[in-house]
């Protein structure tokens, strides 16, 4: 019996069955020489399924388990997808990061489910963000986003995402004392958040990691939008329109003043230059057309020879091997992960903002990746949550999922109030 | 015939079946459709489980919020308290809105933690009163306390245990 | 609580925006999939076969498997996937050959194939018959529209292009679909215009004399190839003699507007007007062009006899023969692709016989048919060995530096309904006769 007195037997069986069906598809349609090639993948997937199901059964008390099951379903599907690229094998690196993501999900859930505790630790969040920024400035190579420790490469900018989402959530939750700066009533927290955003903005610009910028901008924008309608924000519609116009102008000016390589990206006709700048996108689009609706079969893809086939253009790689319909499941996975907190709504402003921030990060990342690789918008090197290979991004996606779970299973307990309550009772008793 | 050769033959037969299946076009449709249908069933089963979790969560929330609700003294209307912070005011964005000119736009906040409700005054013009006592910053409120925002009076009321 | 709802609404909005983007993406991919496939190197192509199942194009062909010269007679008609030539059967019908299906995608060992109406053996026989001469020959079944022979020399060996720069000019186009100077074969069109305008009784009564040279109304000199003149002739004898003075006088009696009208109806681009498009299985075919300004003037009269700036494609010349042979007011449209196989081996795209307006009436066609049959009976039946209606032509090209021989016609046999057009280039000496090539071609087709 689970802690919330519900049974999850049918879901457990369905998750196992789904993975079984996918593995059967690999068995019957896959590209392998010996049937034994599939065995490690099968064992890995089912053992992770069963072990995780048993672990969460005894895990810390929580009100929701559906997020865990959905995450497990997605991650193992992702392992199956990744293992099939260009021939059936076993993506052990991806598997390990998936396990890490599951662990991080639980850790982040425990950290964020009591919003009062997060609030109390707000200054530490800024410290962590500062530390990450310093790490990017000093530990990574010149103008790059990677820290290389032996065989492992860490991308600190990825870890800024959950921290920034938490910052957004903490900054809009309470009634803050306001000051009038110019014509706006602003609180200290909002100023701090805006400064943090601009520091990240400048840093990303400097590092030429423009792909992550929209992610932060979306989280920040959502938080600000919530904030504008929040108590004591007395913006009129005129002011809002003025702000929007200002934003549009800023974006236009940025686009005009962007460095040459960015501008080249913005206006490139990929079919003019199929072997140069347009190489990846052209190959990705061709792969989608070649795979058509039902795919060539797992392992038969040729896109894997193109750089970043398992990260930036992973959507096309899956399209080629599994077909367009199955590739659409990726979107279905992420969207249904975001629908769960809508069914089981958060009970506090903090969690609501946090869930919204996570949703913004997921949707924007997925949109940038899929539309970018298909040449609808400029191509940026971001990953699809859960599906793309990449240690840092996978771990961060696990963390963000933990935050989604915290929104559905929050805890409202405050130590100082408990003391106050006891004191009052004693007083009344004495009276 | 030894067992090894039998295995080998089985594998050959299996390979042949696979080859025939792969060249049969609707097979790819069946395989894709099965995967998609299975994922859909799985996810929708999760949604229905999430709905069950929601009912459990509501019960738990009742416990966390100590089964409290507000009752409008003038009309007797019941106002649910469904979040840990409930903002009371005249503004459209307030959680509980009273269109009464004596109430500030954002008048006060009702918070719950550990099953105890507090009322926090947000520097309102006409003040917040609990059982006639003016709230300085914040004050704990309990069952059947009368809270007055300006001229509007409400009662914090504990529903019967379910 | 309201703020919580607001957050949820924002999330829903983001998801909605994303899903709208996905819809755009799906639409884009569906509408552009064939364009993407054009760039793809991962799709295999099927073969092109002739009517007997002989291979005309094989993407994996080598000189070892087929023989070095196996494809040389169809090189610039069938073409290949290399992109060296455009306007060939393969380059214009790549989508039929690709082992690709927009629903099932790419298939490694697909069965896509194109089955053409061509007769490879006959084609090769005709190609060899040209010997050292260049030119083109095209023949089709004027009842169904199947192209049986289509040869264009010089040709190209798709197995070994060699140095493309040093290839003789015209190697990489199929001349049957490109303009040639029609010479006296143009007199068929002019006769059609005259009959349309005056009625065939009036034309039959016309008698003009030829003294070897004729001075037209403006005093320009029109030479006849017979220096001693043909004397007084009616249309039958003038047609057989291919007498220029006769036709100059005939043109002089026509109304310019009606002449232009008939030419335009037949498909000519007159004085720069736009001719209707003609395509044979997506291969673009030139129709004809002429400049007609004044019926009394030399250039117009000379243009109506297939010189001056008049140009027609052999394919179009052959198509008019179908209307004449059928005594019909519509021409049979030629086609090359009989049917195709999709990548699962199912038969698709069965060709159907199509017709288009000939530009002259059935009565006119019947009358021209009599004239041409008379010409064939008196001059060519014995050489060719079939009852034919023909018109020969000699076209001066390159300002008279070179002469091309032409022969258009049809076989008057319902069991063997073939219309043809043969052009032999640079044949001033007449060492190679077009009628002998027609004879070889018809025999080869019948075998």
- pTM here? 0.79
Residues on chain C touching B23 (C-beta within 8 angstroms):
109
pLDDT, one tens digit per residue, over C298-311 is: 888 888 888 888 89
pLDDT, mean over chain A: 83
Contacts of A59 (CB under 8 A, 6+ apart): A106
For residue A180, what pLDDT is reported? 62
pLDDT band at A417 (very low <50, low <70, confident <90, very high): low
For residue A402, what pLDDT is reported? 93
Distance between first and last Cα of chain B: 73
- The SS3 of residue A355 is helix
- The SS3 of residue C334 is coil
B112 shares contact with chain C (CB less than 8 Å): no
pLDDT band at A265 (very low <50, low <70, confident <90, very high): low
| Chain-centroid distance, C-alpha C40 | 32
C155 near C171, Cβ under 8 Å?
A: yes
Top-confidence residue, A255 or C266: C266
For residue C248, what pLDDT is reported? 87
Looking at the complex, report in whole angstroms how far the Cα of residue A156 sits from the nearest Cα belonging to chain B. Answer: 33
For residue A41, what pLDDT is reported? 92
Backbone angles phi, psi at C394, to 5 degrees: -130, 125
Pairing assessment for the beta strands C355-357 and C330-332 based on DSSP bridges? antiparallel
Conformational region of residue A208, where left means phi above 0, alpha means psi within -120 to 50, and beta covers everything else? left
Inter-chain touch C12–A342, beta carbons under 8 Å: yes
What is the token pair recorded at A116? Answer: 């009062």
pLDDT, one tens digit per residue, over B14-45 is: 778 777 777 676 788 888 999 999 999 999 99
Looking at the complex, report in whole angstroms how far the Cα of residue B82 sits from the nearest Cα belonging to chain C. Answer: 7
C252 near C217, Cβ under 8 Å?
A: yes
> Cα(C195)–Cα(C235) distance, rounded to whole angstroms?
11
- The single residue listed with the structure tokens 């859930």 is A109
- Give the H or E element holding residue B29: helix B26-64
Residue C443, pLDDT above cutoff 60: yes
For residue A231, what pLDDT is reported? 43
For residue A211, what pLDDT is reported? 78
For residue C239, what pLDDT is reported? 87
For residue C397, what pLDDT is reported? 80
Top-confidence residue, A322 or A258: A322
Residue C176, pLDDT above cutoff 50: yes
> Cα(B37)–Cα(A419) distance, rounded to whole angstroms?
54
> Cα(A120)–Cα(A102) distance, rounded to whole angstroms?
26
pLDDT, one tens digit per residue, over C224-280 is: 888 888 888 888 888 888 888 888 888 888 888 888 988 999 989 998 888 888 998
B28 shares contact with chain C (CB less than 8 Å): yes
> Cα(C440)–Cα(C412) distance, rounded to whole angstroms?
17
pLDDT, one tens digit per residue, over C73-98 is: 888 888 888 888 888 888 888 888 88
Of the partner residues A297, A329, A421, the one whose CB lies closest to the CB of residue B39: A329
Q: Which of B41, B33, B50 is nearest to A18 (CA)?
A: B41
For A104, the domain range is 2-430
Q: What is the ipTM of this complex?
A: 0.87
Inter-chain touch A364–C7, beta carbons under 8 Å: no
Question: How many CB atoms are located within 10 Å of the residue A376 CB?
Answer: 15
Work out the average pLDDT over C380-402: 83
pLDDT, one tens digit per residue, over A109-149 is: 988 888 888 888 888 888 988 888 888 887 776 566 677 77
Q: Which of C2, C7, B87 is nearest to A165 (CA)?
A: C7
pLDDT, one tens digit per residue, over A156-175 is: 888 889 999 998 888 775 55
> Cα(C266)–Cα(A182) distance, rounded to whole angstroms?
82
> Cα(A197)–Cα(A152) distance, rounded to whole angstroms?
28
Residue A412, pLDDT above cutoff 90: no
What is the token pair recorded at B17? Answer: 């079946």
For residue C299, what pLDDT is reported? 86
pLDDT band at A176 (very low <50, low <70, confident <90, very high): low
What is the token pair recorded at B50? Answer: 């999430």
Of the partner residues B22, B57, B113, the one whose CB lies closest to the CB of residue A414: B113
Work out the average pLDDT over B135-139: 84
pLDDT, mean over chain C: 87
pLDDT band at A181 (very low <50, low <70, confident <90, very high): low
Pairing assessment for the beta strands C113-116 and C47-49 based on DSSP bridges? parallel
Which range is most confident: A274-288, A334-348, C380-394?
A334-348
Work out the average pLDDT over A85-105: 91
Inter-chain touch A286–C11, beta carbons under 8 Å: no
Q: Which of A155, A48, A38 is nearest to A96 (CA)?
A: A48
Top-confidence residue, C401 or B119: B119
Of the partner residues C2, C104, C344, the one whose CB lies closest to the CB of residue B93: C2
Inter-chain touch A355–C11, beta carbons under 8 Å: yes
Residues on chain C touching A342 (C-beta within 8 angstroms):
8, 11-12
User: How many domains are contained in chain A?
Assistant: 1
Residue A272, pLDDT above cutoff 80: no
Work out the average pLDDT over A83-88: 87
- The SS3 of residue A55 is helix
Of the partner residues C1, C104, C344, the one whose CB lies closest to the CB of residue B83: C1
Q: Could you tell me the domains of chain C? A: 176-334+356-446 (3.40.710.10)
Looking at the complex, report in whole angstroms how far the Cα of residue C96 sits from the nearest Cα belonging to chain B. Answer: 18
Top-confidence residue, C4 or A97: A97
Radius of gyration of chain A (CA): 23
> Cα(C202)–Cα(C207) distance, rounded to whole angstroms?
10
Q: Which residue of B has its CA nearest to A33?
A: B15
A90 near A41, Cβ under 8 Å?
A: yes
Q: What is the dihedral of CA B79, B82, B88, B89, to 10 degrees?
A: -80
Work out the average pLDDT over C360-382: 87
Work out the average pLDDT over C171-190: 89
């Amino acid at each position: 019996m689970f802690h919330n007195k519900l049974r999850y037997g049918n879901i457990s069986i369905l998750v196992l069955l789904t993975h079984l069906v996918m593995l059967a598809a690999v068995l019957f349609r896959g590209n392998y020489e010996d049937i034994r090639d599939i065995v490690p993948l099968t064992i890995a997937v089912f053992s992770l399924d069963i072990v995780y199901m048993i672990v969460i059964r005894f895990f810390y008390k929580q009100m929701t388990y559906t997020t865990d099951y959905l995450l497990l379903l997605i991650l193992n599907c992702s392992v199956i997808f990744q293992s099939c690229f260009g021939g059936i094998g076993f993506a052990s690196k991806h598997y390990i990061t998936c396990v890490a993501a599951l662990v991080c999900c639980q850790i982040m859930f425990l950290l964020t489910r009591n919003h009062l505790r997060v609030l109390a630790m707000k200054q530490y969040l800024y410290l962590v963000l500062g530390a990450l920024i310093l790490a990017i400035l000093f530990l990574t190579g010149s103008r790059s986003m990677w820290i290389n420790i032996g065989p492992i490469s860490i991308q600190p900018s990825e870890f800024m995402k959950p921290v920034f989402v938490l910052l957004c959530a903490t900054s809009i939750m309470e009634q803050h004392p306001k000051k009038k700066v110019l014509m706006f009533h602003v609180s200290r927290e909002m100023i701090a958040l805006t400064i943090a955003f601009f520091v990240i903005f400048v840093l990303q610009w400097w590092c030429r990691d423009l792909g992550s910028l929209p992610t932060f901008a979306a989280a920040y924008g959502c938080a600000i939008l919530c904030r504008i309608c929040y108590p004591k924000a007395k913006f009129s519609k005129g002011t809002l329109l003025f702000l929007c116009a200002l934003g549009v102008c800023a974006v236009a000016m940025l686009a005009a003043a962007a460095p040459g390589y960015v501008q080249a990206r913005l206006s490139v006709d990929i079919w003019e230059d199929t072997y140069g700048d347009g190489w990846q996108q052209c190959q990705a689009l061709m792969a989608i057309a070649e795979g058509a609706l039902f795919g060539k079969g797992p392992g038969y893809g040729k896109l894997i020879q193109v750089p970043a086939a398992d990260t930036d253009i992973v959507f096309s790689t899956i399209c080629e091997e599994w077909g367009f319909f199955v590739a659409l499941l990726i979107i279905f996975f992420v969207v249904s992960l975001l629908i769960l907190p809508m069914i089981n709504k958060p009970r506090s402003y903090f969690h609501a903002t946090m869930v919204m921030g996570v949703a913004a990060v997921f949707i924007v990342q997925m949109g940038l990746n899929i539309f970018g690789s298909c040449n609808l918008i400029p191509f940026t090197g971001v990953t699809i949550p859960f599906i793309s290979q990449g240690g840092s991004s996978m771990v961060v996606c696990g963390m963000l999922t933990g935050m989604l779970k915290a929104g559905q299973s929050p805890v409202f307990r405050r130590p100082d109030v408990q003391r106050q309550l006891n004191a009052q009772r004693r007083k009344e008793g004495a009276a | 015939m030894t067992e090894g050769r039998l295995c080998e033959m089985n594998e050959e037969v299996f390979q042949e079946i696979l080859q025939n299946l792969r060249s049969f076009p609707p097979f790819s449709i069946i395989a894709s459709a099965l995967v998609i249908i299975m994922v859909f069933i799985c996810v929708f089963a999760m949604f229905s489980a999430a709905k069950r979790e929601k009912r459990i969560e509501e019960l738990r929330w009742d416990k966390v919020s100590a089964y409290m609700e507000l009752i409008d003294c003038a009309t007797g209307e019941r106002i649910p308290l469904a979040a840990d912070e409930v903002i009371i005011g005249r503004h459209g964005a307030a959680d509980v809105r009273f269109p009464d000119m004596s109430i500030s736009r954002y008048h006060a906040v009702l918070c719950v933690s550990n099953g105890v409700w507090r009322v926090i005054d947000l520097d309102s013009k006409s003040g917040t009163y609990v059982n006639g006592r003016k709230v300085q910053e914040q004050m704990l409120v309990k069952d059947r306390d009368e809270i007055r925002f300006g001229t509007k009076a409400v009662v914090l009321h504990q529903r019967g245990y379910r | 609580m309201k703020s919580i709802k607001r957050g949820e609404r924002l999330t829903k909005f983001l998801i909605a925006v994303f899903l709208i983007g996905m819809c755009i993406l799906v639409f884009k991919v569906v509408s552009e999939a064939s364009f993407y496939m054009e760039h793809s190197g991962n799709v295999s192509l099927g073969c092109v076969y002739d009517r007997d199942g002989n291979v005309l194009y094989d993407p994996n062909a080598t000189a070892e498997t087929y023989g070095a010269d196996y494809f040389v007679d169809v090189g610039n008609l069938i073409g290949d996937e290399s992109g060296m030539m455009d306007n060939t059967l393969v380059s214009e019908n790549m989508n039929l050959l690709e082992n690709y299906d927009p629903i099932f995608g790419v298939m490694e060992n697909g069965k896509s194939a194109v089955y053409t109406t061509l007769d490879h053996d006959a084609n090769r026989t005709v190609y060899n018959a040209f010997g050292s001469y260049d030119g083109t020959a095209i023949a089709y079944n004027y009842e169904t529209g199947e192209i049986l022979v289509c040869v264009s020399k010089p040709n190209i060996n798709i197995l070994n292009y060699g140095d493309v720069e040093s290839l003789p000019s015209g190697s990489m186009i199929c001349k049957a679909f490109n303009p040639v100077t029609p010479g006296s074969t143009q007199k068929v069109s002019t006769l059609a215009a005259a009959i349309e305008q005056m009625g065939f009784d009036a034309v039959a009564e016309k008698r003009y004399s030829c003294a070897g040279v004729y001075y037209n109304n403006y005093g320009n000199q029109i030479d006849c190839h017979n220096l001693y003149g043909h004397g007084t002739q009616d249309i039958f004898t003038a047609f057989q003699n291919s007498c220029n003075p006769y036709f100059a006088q005939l043109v002089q009696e026509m109304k310019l507007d009606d002449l232009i009208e008939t030419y335009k109806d037949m498909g000519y681009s007159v004085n720069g007007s736009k001719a209707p498009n003609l395509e044979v299985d997506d291969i673009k075919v030139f129709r004809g062009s002429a400049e007609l300004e004044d019926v009394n003037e030399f250039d117009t009269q000379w243009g109506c006899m297939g010189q001056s700036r008049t140009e027609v494609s052999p394919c179009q010349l052959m198509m008019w023969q179908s209307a004449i042979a059928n005594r019909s007011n519509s021409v049979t449209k030629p086609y090359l692709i009989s049917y195709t196989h999709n990548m699962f081996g199912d038969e698709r795209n069965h060709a159907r016989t199509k017709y288009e307006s000939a530009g002259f009436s059935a009565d006119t066609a019947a009358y021209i048919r009599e004239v041409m049959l008379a010409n064939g009976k008196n001059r060519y039946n014995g050489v060719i060995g079939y009852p034919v209606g023909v018109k020969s032509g000699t076209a001066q090209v390159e300002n008279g530096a070179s002469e091309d021989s032409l022969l258009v016609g049809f076989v008057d046999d319902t069991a063997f309904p073939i219309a043809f057009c043969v052009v032999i280039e640079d044949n001033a000496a007449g060492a190679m006769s077009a009628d002998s090539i027609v004879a070889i071609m018809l025999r080869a087709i019948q075998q």
